[in-house]
């Protein structure tokens, strides 16, 4: 058997481990400002994965078994009681040198870098893991049984926290064998994986033979507190799931959400600049350099005619690297704003858009979930950002201030993902205006977007969020429409997409609906604004008749999920709550339709 042949290499994606001459020449021609830098001791593989563009079907959430928590805990106890029978074989580590190939020459395999583990025979069914590509996050894989692996994620650099985002590959699969994966160092006390969410997966052979892109898969999914204590108190949590693969010797990618890398963004912006129909509608400018030396750009979109009287709008995204859906929505917004539709032309004629597509580039490159390379949450630094430690926030704030000085800045929005709630919703800022004008734009979004939930919106100002973009800029610059747009990692719990996972089609609808809501909000006759203002007034009268205590409690409860504190619950209480939740979710999820919603013509 020729292990070095292109035809057979255990399903391992060899293109990750070497650059072709064509790729090397392409790099030489690249602007050196846009070469990806990690800024850490983390060395990326020569290449990152490439995925086919595929409009995936609407995939239903799974129905958790009522006994899934009990079964998961039983397996956990068995692993503890019979620890001496486990293999406990480290088969991947993204940082430590491999003991399996320390004397091997990569050129023997036609590679520049070797995988951590390479099987030597077809009978060796050990999975080959990899995460040393851009945005990858898997620190270590430990084989504990023939087909079961414990996985450990990297915390955000220079922190010991924020293990939520995962993105890695595995190869050397066996068809129809049930594998189990346990990610054992999760941080948050609850997860949408207990509410029907499945991990995302991508099969190289599925893409090759059936043109299938990313899809949801997995069964016996459970998220629960395990017995591993954290140094600063509390316990870690485990995400466990089982899966059967469809091909022998396949390469599978598994992710928390659709990956969107800095390289992807740079390519997209270059294509935008070179598009003859769009290049006169958009200007690309450098905002600053990140800590690692990566270039952060911003875009100006408009028709660039008589710009002084036009209103200003600033949109940012990806301040939290693991919230990848924010980049997709941002890309679709840019596509819409630079497009050929009548609505896009109206927006360009009446507004100047300043857009920062990726605020935390270093975090994205290194596979962080929340922080930058200074080890801080950039969305808590907006009051007084440090030019050296938080350069993208510092310069974006200067950009917002300059825009405010130049013109009427009518809207600021920062795009995020939400790991605890379903639907799409907004967080805003409630001022002293009795007319509650800050409610208008979210309500217009509700009217335009089928998955926007106004009941999940919140406008309270909590002290521990004062450093966020929406509160800091609202207070300092008096921008009434200062929002965070939040999108669930999972899906919707109402409407025609109820109990279906969000996919790229949904992200596109969100982006287009947001843009259309801007037109509705500022069109001269204010027809739709007047309608929602009447609704606000009617709701205000109704609320006066209700118990104030109950109202504030409901809204505060919603808001507390914005950035949940990482407080561990006692094991018994946590298990009872999980059990109750799984039971209630099972009852709700029985309503899942068997077929996906039909698209309207023209959609």
Residue 87: CB atoms within 10 A of its CB come to: 14
Closest CA to 150 of 99, 95, 80, 100: 80
- Contact present, 49 and 253 (Cβ < 8 Å): yes
Closest CA to 410 of 477, 355, 362, 356: 477
Q: Is 134 a catalytic residue?
A: no
> What does DSSP assign to residue 91?
E
- Distance of alpha carbon 220 from the chain centroid: 23
CA distances from 406 to 309, 352, 399, 474 (A): 9, 11, 11, 17
The angle formed by the CA atoms of residues 38, 170 and 121, to the nearest 5 degrees, is 125
Closest CA to 15 of 112, 93, 124, 151: 112
Closest CA to 564 of 189, 156, 164, 223: 189
With left for phi above 0 and alpha for psi between -120 and 50, is residue 511 left, alpha or beta?
Answer: alpha
For the chain, the straight-line distance linking the first and the last C-alpha, in angstroms and rounded, comes to: 51
- Which of 130, 134, 486, 498 is catalytic? The answer is 486
Closest CA to 298 of 316, 324, 311, 320: 316
Which residues lie below 8 Å from residue 596, measured CB to CB, with a gap of 6+? 57, 58, 59, 60, 500
The alpha helices in 367-496, defined as continuous H runs, are 391-406, 440-448, 469-477
Name residue 498's beta-bridge partners. 492
Closest CA to 406 of 319, 302, 331: 302
By annotation, the residues acting in catalysis are: 486
């Amino acid at each position: 058997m020729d292990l070095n042949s292109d035809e057979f290499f255990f399903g391992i994606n060899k293109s990750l481990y070497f650059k072709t001459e064509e790729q090397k020449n392409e790099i030489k021609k690249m602007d050196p400002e846009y070469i990806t830098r990690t800024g850490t001791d983390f060395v990326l593989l020569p290449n990152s994965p490439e995925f086919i563009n595929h409009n995936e079907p609407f995939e239903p959430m799974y129905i958790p078994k009522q006994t899934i928590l009990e079964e998961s805990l039983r397996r956990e106890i068995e692993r503890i009681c019979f620890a001496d029978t486990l293999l406990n074989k480290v088969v991947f580590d993204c940082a430590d040198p491999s003991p399996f190939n320390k004397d091997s020459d990569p050129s023997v395999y036609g590679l520049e870098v070797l995988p951590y583990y390479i099987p030597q025979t077809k009978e060796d069914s050990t999975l080959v893991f990899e995460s040393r590509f851009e945005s990858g996050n898997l620190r270590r894989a430990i084989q504990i049984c023939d087909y079961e692996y414990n996985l450990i994620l990297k915390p955000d650099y220079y922190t010991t926290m924020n293990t939520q985002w995962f993105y890695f590959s595995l190869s050397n699969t066996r068809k129809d064998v049930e594998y189990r994966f346990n990610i054992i160092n999760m941080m948050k006390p609850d997860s949408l994986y207990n509410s029907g969410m499945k991990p995302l997966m991508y099969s190289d052979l599925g893409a090759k033979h059936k043109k299938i892109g990313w899809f949801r898969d997995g069964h016996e999914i459970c998220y629960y507190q395990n017995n591993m204590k954290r140094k600063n108190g509390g316990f870690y949590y485990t995400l466990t799931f089982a899966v059967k693969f469809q091909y022998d010797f396949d390469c599978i990618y598994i992710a928390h959400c659709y990956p969107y890398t800095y390289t992807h963004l740079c390519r997209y912006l270059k294509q935008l600049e070179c598009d003859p129909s769009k290049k006169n509608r958009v200007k690309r400018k450098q905002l600053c350099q990140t800590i690692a030396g990566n270039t952060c750009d911003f875009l100006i979109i408009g028709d660039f005619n008589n710009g002084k009287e036009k209103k200003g709008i600033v949109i940012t995204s990806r301040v939290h690297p693991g919230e990848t859906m924010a980049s997709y929505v941002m890309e679709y917004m840019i596509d819409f704003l630079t497009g050929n539709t009548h609505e896009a032309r109206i927006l360009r004629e009446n507004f100047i858009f300043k857009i920062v597509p990726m605020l935390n580039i270093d975090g994205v490159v290194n596979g962080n979930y929340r922080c930058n390379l200074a080890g801080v949450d950039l969305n808590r630094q907006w009051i007084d950002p440090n030019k050296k430690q938080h350069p993208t926030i510092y310069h974006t704030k200067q950009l917002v201030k300059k825009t405010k000085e130049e013109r009427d800045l009518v809207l600021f929005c920062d795009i995020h993902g939400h790991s605890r709630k379903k639907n799409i919703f907004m967080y805003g800022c409630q001022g002293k205006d009795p007319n509650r004008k800050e409610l208008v734009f979210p309500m217009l979004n509700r009217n335009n977007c089928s998955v926007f939930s106004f009941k999940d919106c919140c406008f309270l100002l909590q002290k521990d969020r004062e450093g966020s973009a929406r509160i800091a800029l609202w207070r300092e610059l008096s921008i009434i429409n200062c929002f965070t747009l939040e999108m669930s990692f999972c899906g919707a719990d109402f409407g025609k997409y109820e109990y279906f996972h969000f996919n790229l089609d949904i992200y596109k609808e969100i982006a287009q609906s947001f843009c259309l809501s801007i037109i509705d909000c500022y069109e001269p006759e204010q027809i739709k604004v007047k309608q929602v203002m009447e609704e606000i007034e009617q709701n205000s009268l109704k609320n006066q008749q209700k118990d104030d205590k109950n109202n504030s409690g409901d809204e505060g409860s919603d808001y507390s999920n914005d950035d949940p504190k990482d407080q561990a619950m006692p094991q018994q209480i946590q298990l009872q709550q999980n059990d109750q939740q799984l039971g209630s979710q099972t009852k709700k999820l029985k309503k899942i339709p068997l077929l996906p919603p039909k698209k309207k013509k023209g959609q």
